Amino acid sequence: MGHANIQMTMIYVHAARKQKIEATAKLQAFVEAARKDKQLQEKEEAESLKPPEDEWGIPIYESEAECPQNPPQEPDFEKLPF
């Protein structure tokens, strides 16, 4: 850097190290915040996919076909070719 004394150059080295540590801390805080935001977003998305519930906590389905408790319909054996 053109300084006559090495100690004058060391001032810049220490400043650069401190800036790296601060930048790393900021980046780590950003990554943690992004991770928490993603987890919250995934949780909200999972909640939005659930069917609405009544006052007793029983899911409300718009049609009987959506209801997992309904057994599959029996095939019409009279229409089979054999």
Per-residue pLDDT at 36: 96
- Cα–Cα distance measured from residue 51 to residue 13, given in angstroms and rounded to the nearest whole number: 60
| pLDDT at residue 11 is higher than 90 | no
pLDDT: which is higher, 8 or 23 = 23
Tokens of 37: 């935001």
Assess whether pLDDT exceeds 90 at residue 39.
yes
Please compute the mean of the pLDDT values over residues 43-50 and round it to a whole number.
87
CA separation for the pair 61, 67 (Å, rounded):
6
pTM: 0.47
Q: What is the pLDDT of residue 77?
A: 61
Residue 10: per-residue pLDDT: 75
d(CA 16, CA 35): 28
**Helix, strand, or coil here: 59?**
strand
Query: Average pLDDT, stretch 34-46?
Result: 94
**Which among 47, 51, 56, 46 has a CA at the least distance from the CA of 69?**
51
Beta bridge partners of 59: 53
Instruction: State the amino acid at position 75 in one-letter form.
Output: P
